[in-house]
């Protein structure tokens, strides 16, 4: 059972454009939703995270939008740069930020110069 | 060290051999996690330690998988009688106190021939 579903599997965006990645979850007990960025040969690195008590969180060019009733959340990358080309994973956990994570399947983003 | 260190970075083994993968978490981090990442997929939880206690091993796929953290710092993931389906990247992550987000190592890429 895939508890966190992520789409699209891949996307191509022009430099300066907006990348949008969507995730949907099933377990209503999830209450911590981080996004990770992974480059080839490297481990995932935390980008930004949100809890369900807020609908949006912005850090620099990265914004998470959260819809609790729909059990969906999304990552927006504004002004996409070639250095943003990576695989992005949404994840979810219950309780503390350091609890075990359930990951989505990943989205490979390619930013064309 | 500054980050989570995993060794070896690459491991090739013949089917049926035993392998041992090592994780050095960030110094002082109480929580330690192992995840398995198949090619093109998101990481999947294997097991969790709080200090030396293995509190959750629900993600271990079979009794061929065994993890330990005897002194509450370095951890070893052992896979006995390896099978081709064990081929994956094995990621280790640590968290300072369980309340803080996890920091991931760069993983060990295991290939079973």
Q: Which alpha helices (H) appear in A1-89, and where do they start and end?
A: none
Contact A6 B98 (CB under 8 A): no
Tell me the C-alpha distance between A41 and B106, whole Å.
Answer: 7
* Those residues with Cβ within 8 angstroms of residue B30's Cβ, 6 or more apart along the chain or in another chain: B50, B51, B72, B95, B96, B97, B98
pLDDT at B1: 53
Smallest CA–CA distance, residue B33 to chain A, in Å, is 7
Alpha-carbon span B36 to B59, nearest angstrom:
9
Average pLDDT over residues A8-36: 96
Average pLDDT rounded to a whole number, residues B54-83: 97
Strand duo A56-59 + A4-7: pairing: unpaired
Of the candidate ranges A15-24, A93-102, B78-87, the one whose mean pLDDT is the lowest? A93-102
Of A41, A98, A102, the CB nearest to B31: A98
Across residues B50-55, what is the average pLDDT?
Answer: 96
Residue-level pLDDT at A88: 98
pLDDT tens digits, residue range A57-105? 999 999 999 999 999 999 999 999 999 999 999 999 998 878 899 999 9
Contact call for A45 and B42, based on CB within 8 A: no
What is the least distance, in Å, from the CA of B38 to any CA of chain A?
10
Mean of pLDDT values over B85-96? 97
């Amino acid at each position: 059972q895939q508890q966190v579903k992520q789409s699209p599997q891949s996307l191509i965006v022009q430099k300066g454009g907006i990348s949008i990645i969507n995730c949907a979850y099933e377990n209503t007990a999830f209450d911590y939703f981080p996004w990770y960025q992974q480059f080839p040969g490297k481990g995932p690195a935390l980008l930004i995270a949100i809890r369900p008590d807020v609908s949006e969180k912005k850090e620099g060019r990265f914004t998470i939008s959260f819809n609790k009733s729909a059990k969906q959340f999304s990552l927006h990358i504004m002004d996409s740069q070639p250095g943003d080309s990576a695989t992005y994973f949404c994840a979810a956990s219950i309780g503390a930020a350091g609890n075990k994570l359930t990951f989505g399947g990943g989205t490979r983003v390619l930013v064309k110069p | 060290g500054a980050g989570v260190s995993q060794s070896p970075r690459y491991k090739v083994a013949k089917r049926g051999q035993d392998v041992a993968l090592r994780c050095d978490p960030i110094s002082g981090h109480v929580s330690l996690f192992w995840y398995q990442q198949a090619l093109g997929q998101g990481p999947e939880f294997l097991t969790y330690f709080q200090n030396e206690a293995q509190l959750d091993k629900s993600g271990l796929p079979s009794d061929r998988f065994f993890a330990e953290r005897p002194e509450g710092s370095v951890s070893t993931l052992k896979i006995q009688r390896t099978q081709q389906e064990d081929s994956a990247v094995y990621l280790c992550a640590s968290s300072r106190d369980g309340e803080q987000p996890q920091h991931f190592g760069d993983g060990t890429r295991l290939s079973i021939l």
